C-alpha cells in the first residue's frame, strides 16, 4: 500500500528496481515528500519555473519522468538497470464477496446439520422381549404330479382322429387318438391269407403222411407173405427182394411225409406270428390312455404328423399332485416325512392350503446348495396348473425364552446383520447374531437384550438420529 501523505501533498510510490545485483543494493525507503507550500527547484521539464507554477497540461507524462534512485545506484554503472516505479494499487471488492459467500455456506450447513440431528424423525418402535418362538422353514416350489405321462404314438403317421381335449378326465385304456393305418390293415389282411394257406398246407402234409403210412403198411404185409412163400418154396427170391425194397421205400416216404408235416406246421406258426405282429401294429395306430387322470396339455391336432416319442397329449393323476419345494441344505435335518405344512400359491396368496411332507430328496444341488421336498396338499385350488408357483412353510419345533424381532427390522452394515436401537432418544447401530426364522420374525441369538427398544422400519435410519415414535403398522 502507498504510505499516506500529509494533507495537500501528493503521494509518491515506493521506488523498485529490477536488475539489481543483490537485495542489499536496493534502497526501499520511500522518496521524501515535499510539502505543497514548498517551492520545488526548476527541473528540465518546467522551463526554468518552479514546479508549482507549471500548468497541469505542461507537466511531463509519467513515462517521461525519471525515478529517483538510491545513492548506491545513481552511479551504478552497467551492472545496474534503471528502476521502475510500482503502479499504485487500487482497492478491490472481491474480499467482501468471498466473505459473504462463506457466511451463506456456513448458515446453510448449520441449518442442514440442525435439521439432520436436532429434528426428530418419526419411526416405528418396539420393545424386545423374550417369549415362545415357533421356527419355520420356508421355500418356493412348483406344482407337479408324480404320476404323469406324455401320450405319444409308436408309429409315424397322420392323426386321423382325436377324442380328448384339455381338462378332460380320462380312464386308463380309453382311446385318445388314431393314426392313419391303411397300409397296416392291408398288411394284416395279407398275413391272414398267408396264415390260411399255411393251415391248408399243414392239412395236405398230414394227408400225404397218412397215405405214406398206408403204403408202408401194405408193403410190410406183402413182405410177410413173400417170406412165408419163400419158406415153402412157392415164391421166387426176386419177389421177396422186391417186397423188402417196397417196405424200405414206404418207410422213407413216411419219414418224408412227417418232415413235410413239420415244415407246414412251422410255416403256419410263422404265418400266425405275422398276423399277430400286423394286428399289434394296427392296434398301435389306436392310441389309448396309459393312466387315469386329467388331460393337462394337448400338443397336436387332427391332420398333424406324429412321430414316435412326440406327445400328443399329457395326462396327470390329480391324486398324485405335489408341491416340489426347494429349501436350503441347512434345514434338511429339520424336515421329515409326515410333517405338516402350509402352502400358499402366488395366484391366491390370501388362501392357505394345509398339506404333509410326502418325501424328501436325497440329493443337494451343487450350485444352489438346496434340496427338494414333495408336499402333498390336502386340496387344490379351483383352477390349478402343473408348474404353478407356490410357497411352502413347514413348522419345526418351537422353544421358549427367545427374543424375536420382525424381519423388516434386520439390516446389514459392512456385510453383517444388526438392528437400530434407541439410546437417549437417538438411533444407534447394534450388530446381532441371527437364528431361526419363524414367519415374519427372526430369532436374535446374541446382541439384543430384553427391554431394548429398536426401530422396526430402519430404511432411512442413521447414527445419532433423533427419533419419535409413531403408530406401528401391523
For 113-155, how does the pLDDT look when each residue is reduced to its tens digit (9 = 90+)? 877 877 788 888 988 999 888 888 889 999 999 999 999 999 9
Please report the pLDDT score of residue 53 as a whole number: 46
Interacting residues of 101 by C-beta distance below 8 A, sequence separation 6+: none
Cβ atoms of 106 and 454 closer than 8 Å: no
- Domain assignment present for residue 353? The answer is yes
Among 357, 355, 329, 328, residue whose Cα is nearest residue 344:
355
Q: Sign of the CA dihedral 224, 226, 232, 238?
A: negative
Domain span holding position 157: 148-179+286-314
Is the entire prediction scored with pTM above 0.85? no
Among 116, 126, 110, residue whose Cα is nearest residue 465:
116
Do both 190 and 226 map to the same domain?
yes
Do both 381 and 421 map to the same domain?
no
Cβ atoms of 125 and 469 closer than 8 Å: yes
Do both 308 and 425 map to the same domain?
no
- Domain assignment present for residue 404? The answer is yes
Quickly state the pLDDT bin for 72 (edges 50, 70, 90): very low
Please report the pLDDT score of residue 76 as a whole number: 46
- Domain assignment present for residue 107? The answer is no
- Domain assignment present for residue 203? The answer is yes
Domain boundary among 391, 425, 452: 391
Do both 279 and 290 map to the same domain?
no
- For residue 348, give the CATH number of its domain: 2.40.30.170
For 347-387, how does the pLDDT look when each residue is reduced to its tens digit (9 = 90+)? 888 889 999 999 999 999 999 999 999 999 999 888 899 99
Do both 155 and 300 map to the same domain?
yes
Quickly state the pLDDT bin for 221 (edges 50, 70, 90): confident
Whole-number percent of the chain with pLDDT over 90: 39
Q: What is the mean pLDDT of residues 66-70?
A: 48
- 122 CB neighbour count, 10 Å cutoff: 10
Q: What is the mean pLDDT of residues 180-208?
A: 91
- Domain assignment present for residue 466? The answer is yes
User: Which grid coordinates belong to 25?
Assistant: 543494493
Do both 358 and 445 map to the same domain?
no
Domain count along the chain: 5
- For residue 438, give the CATH number of its domain: 2.40.420.20
Amino acid at each position: 500500500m502507498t504510505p499516506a501523505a500529509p494533507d495537500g501533498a501528493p503521494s509518491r510510490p515506493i521506488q523498485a528496481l529490477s536488475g539489481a545485483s543483490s537485495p542489499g543494493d536496493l534502497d526501499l525507503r520511500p522518496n521524501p515528500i515535499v510539502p505543497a507550500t514548498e517551492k520545488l527547484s526548476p527541473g528540465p521539464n518546467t522551463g526554468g519555473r518552479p514546479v508549482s507554477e507549471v500548468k497541469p497540461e505542461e507537466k511531463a507524462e509519467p513515462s517521461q519522468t525519471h525515478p529517483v534512485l538510491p545513492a548506491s545506484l545513481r552511479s551504478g554503472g552497467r551492472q545496474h538497470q534503471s528502476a521502475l516505479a510500482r503502479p499504485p494499487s487500487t482497492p478491490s471488492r472481491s474480499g467482501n464477496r468471498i466473505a459473504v459467500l462463506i457466511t451463506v455456506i456456513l448458515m446453510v450447513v448449520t441449518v442442514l446439520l440442525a435439521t439432520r440431528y436436532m429434528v426428530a424423525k418419526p419411526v416405528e418402535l418396539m420393545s424386545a422381549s423374550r417369549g415362545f418362538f415357533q421356527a419355520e422353514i420356508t421355500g418356493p416350489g412348483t406344482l407337479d404330479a408324480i404320476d404323469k405321462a406324455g401320450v405319444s404314438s409308436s408309429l409315424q403317421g397322420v392323426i386321423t382322429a382325436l377324442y380328448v381335449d384339455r381338462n378332460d378326465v380320462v380312464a386308463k385304456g380309453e382311446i385318445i387318438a388314431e393314426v392313419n393305418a391303411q397300409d397296416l390293415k392291408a398288411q394284416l389282411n395279407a398275413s391272414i391269407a398267408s396264415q390260411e394257406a399255411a393251415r391248408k398246407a399243414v392239412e395236405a402234409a398230414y394227408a400225404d403222411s397218412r397215405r405214406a403210412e398206408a403204403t408202408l403198411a401194405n408193403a410190410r404185409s406183402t413182405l410177410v407173405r413173400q417170406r412165408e412163400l419163400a419158406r415153402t418154396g412157392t415164391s421166387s427170391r426176386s419177389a421177396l427182394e422186391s417186397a423188402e425194397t417196397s417196405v424200405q421205400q414206404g418207410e422213407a416216404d413216411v419219414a418224408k411225409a412227417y418232415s413235410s408235416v413239420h415244415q407246414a406246421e412251422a410255416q403256419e406258426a410263422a404265418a400266425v406270428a405275422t398276423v399277430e405282429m400286423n394286428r399289434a401294429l394296427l392296434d398301435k395306430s389306436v392310441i389309448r390312455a396309459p393312466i387315469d387322470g386329467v388331460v393337462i396339455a394337448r400338443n397336436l391336432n387332427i391332420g398333424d404328423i406324429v412321430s414316435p416319442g412326440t406327445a400328443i397329449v399329457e395326462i396327470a393323476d390329480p391324486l398324485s399332485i405335489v408341491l416340489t419345494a426347494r429349501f436350503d441344505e441347512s434345514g434338511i435335518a429339520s424336515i421329515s416325512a409326515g410333517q405338516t405344512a402350509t402352502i400358499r400359491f402366488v395366484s391366491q396368496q390370501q388362501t392357505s392350503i394345509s398339506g404333509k411332507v410326502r418325501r424328501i430328496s436325497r440329493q443337494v444341488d451343487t450350485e444352489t446348495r438346496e434340496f427338494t421336498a414333495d408336499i402333498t396338499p390336502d386340496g387344490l385350488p379351483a383352477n390349478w396348473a402343473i408348474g404353478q408357483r407356490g410357497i411352502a412353510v413347514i413348522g419345526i419345533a418351537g422353544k421358549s425364552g427367545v427374543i424375536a424381532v420382525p424381519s423388516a427390522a434386520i439390516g446389514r452394515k459392512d456385510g453383517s446383520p444388526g438392528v437400530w436401537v434407541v439410546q437417549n432418544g437417538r438411533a444407534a447401530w447394534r450388530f446381532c447374531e441371527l437364528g431361526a426364522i419363524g414367519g415374519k420374525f427372526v430369532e436374535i441369538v446374541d446382541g439384543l437384550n430384553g427391554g431394548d427398544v429398536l426401530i422396526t422400519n430402519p430404511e432411512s435410519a442413521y447414527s445419532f438420529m433423533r427419533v419419535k415414535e409413531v403408530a406401528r403398522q401391523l
